[in-house]
Structure 1
Amino acid sequence: MEGLHLTADLRGCAAALPPMTGVAALRALCLAAVAEVELQAVGELFHGFGTAATAAPGGSPPVTGGVTGVVLLAESHLAVHTWPERGAVTLDVYVCNLGADNGARAERLMQRLVAAFAPARVERQALRRGGAVEAA
């Protein structure tokens, strides 16, 4: 069990970007990015959090909620969470390296998604998981 787990916290993303509030837009972005880097999607679930029931204080229009999306990969997973009201997105890409090193694909997937949200600031983390395990 060896793999690469990448995370990115994006700040300063434009709330008006379609994937920030649109389930279909985030789904299309994620599935296209997965295909572009030649990873294999085997399942997916995307959920939108809708709009507030009433207008925000001051009579401004209701705030549109964010979207959470997960793509189950043959190689592991991709998870995306958007907060348009904060201009924030979190990304999580994990790939296993069983049979092939998928690290470069994971890096390209992360780069593609970060670029799509055009954040003002990005905080990235990378964790190498697994490795040689001794028998107990």
Structure 2
Amino acid sequence: MSVFLPRGRHLLADFHGVAAGRLGDAVAIEALLRAAADAAGATPVAGHFHPFGPGLGVTGVLLLKESHISIHTWPEHGFAAVDVFMCGAARPDKAVEAISAALAAGSVALREIARG
């Protein structure tokens, strides 16, 4: 009988009750995801962040050697959806903790999926 060892951990985090001012700045969101990658021990290789305009959200992805972190924000709803998928020795839970601290959400719903 073989033992299942996942190739990676995929964390899905929904942040509710976030101040709108924390969710609309693409430059700040990119810096946040890069800091989260660093906290997780992951290595960024490329990123792309798209702002939708004043008062609107940001969609972004930070590609990592270990996989990716993505974010979609809705300032008008105080909501951010974050995807953290990492393999190897990287710690996706540490990335989520860093993002959570920076966004100061009223509540966080977190799900984990073992991949592979």
Tell me the TM-score normalised to structure 1 length.
0.77
- Cα distance in 2 for partners of 1:6, 1:107 equals 8
In structure 1, runs of 5+ residues without a counterpart are 52-63, 131-136
| Deviation at residue 38 of structure 1 after TM alignment | 2.1
Q: Which runs of 5+ in 2 are unaligned?
A: 1-5
RMSD of aligned alpha carbons:
1.3
Runs of 4+ in 1 over 3 A off after TM superposition: none
Output the TM-score relative to the length of structure 2: 0.89
Deviations 1:79-127 (A, max 9, x none): 0111000000011000123xxx33xx21101111011111111111001
Deviations 1:52-78, CA, capped at 9 Å, x for gaps? xxxxxxxxxxxx110111000000000
Alpha-carbon distance, 1:23 to partner: 1.0
Say yes or no: does 1:48 pair with 2:48: no
Match of 2:113 in 1: 127
Query: Is it true that 1:39 corresponds to 2:25 in the alignment?
Result: no
Query: Aligned runs of 1:72-111 on 2, under 5 Å?
Result: 72-97=63-88, 101-102=89-90, 105-111=91-97
Percent identity for Structure 1 against Structure 2: 40
Which structure's residues are more often strand, by fraction? 2
**Count, aligned residues:** 111
Q: Which of the two has higher C-alpha Rg? A: 1
CA–CA distance in 1 between the matches of 2:111 and 2:39? 22
